[in-house]
């Protein structure tokens, strides 16, 4: 029995069923865009821990920053004995988050926690209860996070009741016949039929839906949303947890639209694998919560702060925003020619920078999702040494999230494996 199979057997017995595994690759060691399992098998990693290691696994500068921090202290709790790393990261994010307004920041640990805090702050600032999110969106697995998430299975099934005053509107999706105008209309209908906009504290949106299938909100839609929010005094929250930190070719995806959000949630790519998250927003909004209302024991851990500051430096030094476009273009070129060969299967290919996905269908029909084939491709890719992830509300999207530090030759090798998987499964 291989070491991986043995571990999988132990895992089946010891770990709760609800904690799913997308692959059965038990990690032993990882370096930049490659990962080796406990049996010594090597994989090209097009997942990087779900859009986390944008600067690659184990970036030497990030590792050095963490090691240096560990030499000093690992934890004091910012509420007990504050430290410079927290303040320095807040200062940096306040500068980097787009928009003219003065900004302030709070740090937490996970993405879901950042979302929870953004909603708390929005409610405290507006004195209103309502929150509007989007169908197909994903905002985490905590009570508020899953309530905002616009997909029942598997995220909400069996976990109710959910908090009140949360509503979902249509997310634009041209491929599935929802135009931008339809989406704006749907939001206005919601305000007529379900909740008075004067009772809405915030609208929360992913500029590109991550788990929902890499659906890109057109910049003009985000502008329209900004206008609706301004009209009714509603705060606009951009959930940049998956889109953030150079992934889409800009530090934040919202920069593609030129709008300023009132609050931005960040996690994942912020610290190259160290658990830290942030909410940055307009200073007066951020200051709405009373002292003691925000925070937590591990919130803004010194190790996470050190890692995040190093990641931000690497993004700048290695020009990773620019590199995200180059990588995205390389993926697009190969995937486009695959789509031309297989139009009945690759129904849609979409990309914003290095956030690239293909939607797999049967008979070229958007309404016939090829979910089983998608699963089979992910499994076959693992056999051939490539880690890719599925996503999408119909389970038929394959997303590509290479580190932004990957070499061209590994991209080409990974894509060749992906093509081989399709050919083998269709043969």
How much helix, strand and coil, in percent to the nearest 5, is found in the chain? 40, 20, 40
Spatial CB neighbours of 258, under 8 Å, sequence gap ≥ 6: 219, 223
Name which of 266 and 370 has its Cβ closer to ligand PMP: 266
Report 16-55 residues binding ligand PMP (CB under 6 A).
Answer: 50
What x-and-dash track marks residues 91-110 binding ligand PMP by CB under 6 A?
A: -------------------x
Q: For residue 169, give the nearest of 140, 136, 201 by alpha carbon.
A: 136
Per rule CB under 6 A, is residue 139 in the interface with ligand PMP? yes
- Please give the backbone phi and psi of residue 21, each rounded to the nearest 5 degrees, phi first: -120, 130
Question: Cα separations (Å) of 211 from 69, 289, 353, 394, 395?
Answer: 33, 30, 17, 11, 10
- Asked if 135 touches ligand PMP (CB under 6 A), the answer is no
CB-based burial label for 31 (10 Å; 0-12, 13-18, 19+): middle
Instruction: Provide, rounded to whole angstroms, the least separation between the CB of residue 136 and ligand PMP.
Output: 11
Least distance CB 337 / ligand PMP (angstroms)? 29
- Cα 179 from Cα 220, distance rounded (Å): 11
Give how far Cα 421 sits from Cα of 331, 375, 424, Å: 16, 11, 5
Binding segment (CB under 6 A) for ligand PMP, from list 11-19, 205-213, 295-303, 373-381: 205-213
226-255 residues near ligand PMP, rule: CB under 6 A: 239, 241-242
Which one of residues 49, 56, 85, 111 is an interface residue with ligand PMP (CB under 6 A)? 111
Decide whether 267 or 320 has the Cβ nearer to ligand PMP. Answer: 267
Of positions 49, 136, 140, 272, contacts ligand PMP by CB under 6 A: 140
Going edge to edge, which strands form the sheet with 263-266? 103-108, 277-282, 263-266, 235-239, 200-205, 130-134, 166-169
- Of positions 206, 255, 262, 359, contacts ligand PMP by CB under 6 A: 206
Number of residues that bind ligand PMP (CB under 6 A): 15
Selected binder of ligand PMP within 115, 118, 131, 338 (CB under 6 A)? 115
Which residue's structure tokens are 């009714």?
Answer: 232
| Contacting positions for ligand PMP (CB under 6 A) | 50, 110-112, 115, 138-140, 206, 210-211, 239, 241-242, 267
């Amino acid at each position: 029995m291989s070491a991986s199979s043995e571990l999988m057997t132990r895992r089946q017995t010891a770990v709760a069923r609800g904690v799913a595994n997308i692959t059965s690759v038990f990690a032993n060691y990882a370096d930049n865009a490659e990962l080796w399992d406990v049996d010594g098998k090597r994989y090209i990693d097009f997942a990087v821990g779900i859009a986390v290691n944008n600067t690659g696994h184990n970036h030497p500068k990030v590792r050095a920053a963490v090691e240096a921090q560990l030499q000093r202290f690992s934890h004091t709790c910012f509420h007990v004995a504050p430290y410079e790393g927290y303040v320095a990261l807040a200062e940096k994010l306040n500068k980097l988050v787009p928009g003219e307004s003065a900004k302030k920041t709070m740090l937490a640990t996970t993405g879901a926690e950042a979302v929870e805090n953004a909603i708390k702050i929005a409610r405290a600032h507006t004195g209103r209860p309502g929150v509007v999110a989007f169908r197909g969106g994903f905002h985490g697995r905590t009570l508020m996070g899953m309530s905002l998430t616009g997909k029942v299975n598997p995220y909400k099934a069996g976990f109710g009741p959910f908090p009140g005053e949360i509503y979902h509107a249509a997310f634009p999706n041209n491929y599935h016949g929802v135009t931008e105008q339809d989406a704006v209309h749907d939001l206005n209908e919601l305000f007529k039929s379900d909740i008075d906009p004067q009772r809405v504290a915030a609208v929360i949106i992913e500029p590109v839906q991550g788990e929902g299938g890499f659906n890109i909100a057109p910049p003009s839609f985000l502008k329209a949303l900004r206008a609706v929010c301004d009209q009714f005094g509603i705060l606009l929250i951009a959930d940049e947890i998956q889109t953030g930190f150079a992934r889409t070719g800009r530090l934040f995806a919202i920069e593609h639209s030129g709008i300023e959000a009132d609050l931005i949630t960040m996690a994942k790519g912020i610290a190259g694998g160290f658990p830290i998250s942030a909410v940055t927003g307009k200073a007066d909004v951020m200051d709405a919560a009373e002292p003691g209302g925000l925070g937590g024991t591990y919130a803004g851990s010194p190790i996470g702060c050190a890692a995040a500051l190093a990641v931000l430096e690497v993004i700048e030094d290695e020009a990773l925003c620019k590199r995200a476009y180059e990588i995205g273009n390389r993926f697009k070129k190969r995937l486009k020619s695959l789509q031309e060969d297989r139009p009945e299967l690759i129904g849609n290919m979409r990309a914003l920078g290095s956030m690239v996905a293909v939607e797999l269908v049967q008979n070229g029909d958007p309404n016939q999702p090829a979910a089983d084939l998608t699963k089979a491709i992910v499994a076959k890719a693992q056999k051939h040494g490539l880690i890719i992830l599925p996503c999408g509300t119909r389970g038929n999207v394959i997303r590509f999230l290479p580190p932004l530090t990957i070499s061209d030759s590994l991209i080409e090798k990974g894509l060749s494996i992906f093509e081989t998987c399709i050919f083998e499964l269709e043969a």
